[in-house]
Amino acid sequence: MFFYGTFTLPIEVQPGASLELPVVFTPHADVDYTGVITLKSTAEDSTLSIDLSGTGVPKGSAVPALGVTPATLNFGSVTVGSSASLQATLTASNAAVTISSDASTSSEFVLSGLTLPATIAAGKSIAVTIQFTPNASGAASGQAGFTSNATSSPTVEQLTGTGVAQSSNYVSLSWTAASGSPVGYNVFRGNAKAGPFEQINTALDASTSYTDDTVVAGTTYYYVTTAVNAAGAESAYSNVAEAVVTN
Name which residue leads in pLDDT, 199 or 12.
199
**Which contiguous run of DSSP H or E holds residue 173?**
strand 171-174
CA nearest to 144, candidates 113, 87, 106, 116: 106
Cα separation, 88 vs 75, in Å, equals 12
Q: How would you label 163-196 residue by residue, b for 16+ Cβ within 10 Å and e otherwise? A: bbeeeebebeeebeebeeebbbbbbbbeeeeeee
Domains of the chain: 2-55 (no CATH), 65-164 (2.60.40.10), 171-244 (2.60.40.10)
With a cut of 60, say whether residue 5 has pLDDT above it: no
What is residue 10's DSSP assignment?
Answer: S
With a cut of 90, say whether residue 196 has pLDDT above it: yes
Q: What is the pLDDT of residue 108?
A: 96
Q: What is the pLDDT of residue 63?
A: 86
List residues bridging with 126 in a β-sheet: 90
| 24-28, 31-35, 123-127: which is most confident | 123-127
Question: Per-residue confidence at 47, pLDDT binned at 50, 70, 90?
Answer: confident
Of the chain, the percentage scoring pLDDT greater than 70 comes to 94
Lowest mean pLDDT among 39-43, 150-154, 195-199, 234-238: 39-43
- 3-class secondary-structure state, position 197: coil
With a cut of 80, say whether residue 106 has pLDDT above it: yes
Those residues whose C-beta lies under 8 Å from the C-beta of residue 150, and which sit 6 or more positions away, are: 64, 65, 66, 92, 97
Q: What is the pLDDT of residue 7?
A: 56
Q: What is the pLDDT of residue 9?
A: 67
List residues bridging with 3 in a β-sheet: 24
Name which residue leads in pLDDT, 16 or 86.
86
Q: What is the pLDDT of residue 8?
A: 62
Q: What is the pLDDT of residue 2?
A: 46
Name which residue leads in pLDDT, 50 or 132.
132
Is the alpha carbon torsion for 162, 165, 171, 176 positive or negative?
positive
Cα separation, 208 vs 183, in Å, equals 11
